[in-house]
C-alpha cells in the first residue's frame, strides 16, 4: 500500500531550513523565526524558542537527543517548556502556532489563527489555507532545524504535544517517520467519533457534512495513524472535556507501532498539568536510552463477568477504574469509580469482578516500583453508549 501524505509535499517539508536568530532570553534560550507555507498569497513565518542543555547524561558520540514541543489551543511557544526538557538533558524546540512572537504579538507575516475559524471554517478557502495544514508544515520545519544543530543527534529526536498539540502530534506521527517516539497528551484523532467539536456549536458545526468529511480525510489523524511504526505513549484523563475515550482508543488502535497508555482518573486539562506525568520522560528515556520500560500489558479479556489482564513483568499495585453511568450520555460527564485490586502472587496478572450493570466501561491501572502508571485499554459491556 502506498503512503498517504494528504495535501502536504513531504519532500519539500524535509528540506533544510534557514532560520533567523532573534537573540537570547535572559535564561539563555534562543529566539528564532523561520519561513513557513504561503497564506492567502503571501509569505509567512513562525516564531520558536530553542535551547540546548548545559549538560546531558545522554550524550552519544558527542551528540545529545532532542524533542519537538507542540502547544495546544490558546497556547504559545513556551520558553519554560524548552527549559524543562533542557534540564532533563534534551535539546528542545517549541514553535508558536498562533502566528505570534514570544511577546504574544502578531508577526507581520503571520499564518492562520488557531481559533475555530482557522481550524475549521478556513477550509472553505482551500485545504492549504487551514491552520492544521500550516501547523504540520511548521512542525516538520522545526524538526529540520533541531536536527541540523551540530550538537544534536538527528537520529534521536522525539515529539510531544498538548491538547490540540496532542492532536498535531498524532497527525505528524503518521506523516513523519523520522521521529523515534511520539507522546500526544489529551489530543488524538477520530474527532468526529467523540470530541467536544461535535457537541457544541463550533468546529464541525461550522462546516456541514460535506466539508466535515473533507476535513476528516485531510486533517484527522485517523487518515494517517496506520502508517505509524515507532513507539507512542498516549496520555489522557477519564473525563477529558475535549478528547473522549472512544476517539482516543480508536486512534491508538490504528497505530502499527508499540503503544503504551496512561489514562489517569479525572486528569486536569491544561498546558502545565500536561507536563506533570513522570511517565512522559520515563517513556522517552526508555525508547532512546534503554532505561526501564513502563509496565506493559500483554492481553486483556472478559470472562464470566471478570476482567482479566496480564503483564510482561510483575507490577507493584493495581486499580480498577470503571463507569456504569448511563445517566450522562457524554463521556466527560460520566462518573468513574476507582477500586484497588489484588494482583496474582507473581504480580503478572490482575483478575477482578466487573460490576453487574446493563452497560459499563472499565480498565486497569498499574504502577511499577517507581510509582509510574500505565493503563490497559478500556473495555465495554452491554449496550453501547
pLDDT at site 385: 56
pLDDT at 205: 83
Distance, CA of 149 to CA of 156 (rounded, Å): 13
Domain 297-382, CATH? 2.60.40.10
> Phi and psi at residue 20, in whole multiples of 5°?
-105, 125
DSSP 42-86: EEEEEEEEEE--S--TT-BTTBEEEEEEE--TT----HHHHHHHH
**CATH architecture of the domain covering 10-289:** 3-Layer(aba) Sandwich (3.40)
pLDDT at 202: 78
Residues contacting 26, CB < 8 A, separation 6+ = none
Dihedrals phi, psi of 266, to nearest 5 degrees: 50, 40
Q: What is the pLDDT of residue 1?
A: 59
pLDDT for 384 equals 60
C-alpha to C-alpha distance for 204 and 355, rounded to whole angstroms: 36
Strand segments, DSSP code E, in 223-316 are: 232-237, 259-264, 297-303, 306-311
Please list the helix, strand and coil fractions of the chain in percent, rounded to the nearest 5, in that order: 30, 30, 40
Question: Is residue 224 a contact partner of residue 198, using CB atoms and an 8 Å limit?
Answer: no
3-state secondary structure 178-233: CCCCEEEECCCCCHHHCEHHHCCCCHHHHCHHHHHHHHHHHHCHHHCHHHCCCCEE
Return per-residue pLDDT of the chain as tens, 385 residues.
578 999 999 999 999 999 999 999 999 999 999 999 999 999 999 999 999 999 999 999 999 999 999 999 999 999 999 999 999 999 999 999 999 999 999 999 999 999 989 999 999 999 999 999 999 999 999 999 999 999 999 999 999 999 999 999 999 999 999 999 999 999 999 999 899 999 777 789 889 999 999 999 999 999 999 999 999 999 999 999 999 999 999 999 999 999 999 999 999 999 999 999 999 999 999 999 999 999 999 999 999 999 999 999 999 999 999 999 999 999 999 999 999 999 999 999 999 999 999 999 999 999 999 999 999 999 999 876 5
Instruction: Of 37, 249, 1, give the one whose Cα is nearest residue 138.
Output: 37
Domain extents in the chain: 10-289, 297-382
Amino acid at each position: 500500500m502506498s503512503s498517504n501524505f494528504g495535501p502536504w509535499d513531504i519532500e519539500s517539508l524535509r528540506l533544510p531550513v534557514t532560520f533567523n536568530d532573534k537573540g537570547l532570553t535572559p535564561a539563555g534560550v534562543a529566539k528564532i523565526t523561520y519561513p513557513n507555507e504561503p497564506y492567502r498569497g503571501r509569505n509567512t513565518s513562525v516564531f520558536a524558542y530553542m535551547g540546548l542543555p548545559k549538560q546531558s547524561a545522554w550524550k552519544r558520540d558527542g551528540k545529545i537527543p532532542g524533542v519537538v514541543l507542540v502547544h495546544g489551543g490558546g497556547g504559545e511557544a513556551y520558553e519554560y517548556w524548552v527549559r524543562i526538557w533542557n534540564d532533563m538533558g534534551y535539546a528542545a524546540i517549541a514553535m508558536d502556532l498562533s502566528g505570534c512572537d514570544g511577546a504574544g504579538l502578531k508577526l507581520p507575516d503571520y499564518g492562520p489563527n488557531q481559533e475555530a475559524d482557522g481550524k475549521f471554517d478556513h477550509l472553505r478557502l482551500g485545504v492549504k489555507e487551514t491552520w492544521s495544514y500550516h501547523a504540520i508544515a511548521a512542525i516538520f520545519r522545526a524538526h529540520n532545524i533541531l536536527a541540523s544543530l551540530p550538537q544534536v543527534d538527528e537520529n534521536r529526536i522525539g515529539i510531544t504535544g498538548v491538547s490540540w498539540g496532542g492532536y498535531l502530534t498524532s497527525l505528524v506521527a503518521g506523516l513523519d517517520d523520522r521521529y523515534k517516539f511520539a507522546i500526544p497528551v489529551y489530543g488524538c484523532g477520530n474527532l468526529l467519533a467523540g470530541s467536544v467539536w461535535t457537541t457544541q456549536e463550533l468546529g464541525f458545526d461550522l462546516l456541514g457534512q460535506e466539508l466535515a468529511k473533507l476535513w476528516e480525510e485531510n486533517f484527522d489523524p485517523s487518515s494517517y495513524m496506520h502508517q505509524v511504526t515507532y513507539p507512542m505513549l498516549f496520555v489522557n484523563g477519564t473525563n477529558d472535556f475535549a478528547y473522549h475515550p472512544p476517539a482516543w482508543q480508536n486512534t491508538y488502535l490504528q497505530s502499527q507501532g508499540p503503544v503504551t497508555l496512561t489514562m489517569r482518573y479525572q486528569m486536569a486539562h491544561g498546558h502545565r498539568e500536561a507536563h506533570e506525568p513522570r511517565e512522559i520522560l520515563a517513556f522517552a528515556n526508555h525508547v532512546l536510552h534503554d532505561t526501564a520500560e513502563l509496565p506493559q500489558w500483554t492481553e486483556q479479556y472478559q470472562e464470566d463477568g471478570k476482567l482479566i489482564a496480564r503483564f510482561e513483568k510483575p507490577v507493584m499495585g493495581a486499580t480498577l477504574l470503571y463507569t456504569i453511568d448511563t445517566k450522562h450520555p457524554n463521556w466527560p460527564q460520566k462518573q468513574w469509580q476507582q477500586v484497588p485490586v489484588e494482583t496474582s502472587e507473581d504480580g503478572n496478572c490482575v483478575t477482578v469482578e466487573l460490576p453487574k450493570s446493563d452497560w459499563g466501561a472499565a480498565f486497569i491501572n498499574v504502577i511499577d516500583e517507581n510509582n509510574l502508571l500505565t493503563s490497559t485499554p478500556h473495555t465495554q459491556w452491554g449496550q453501547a453508549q
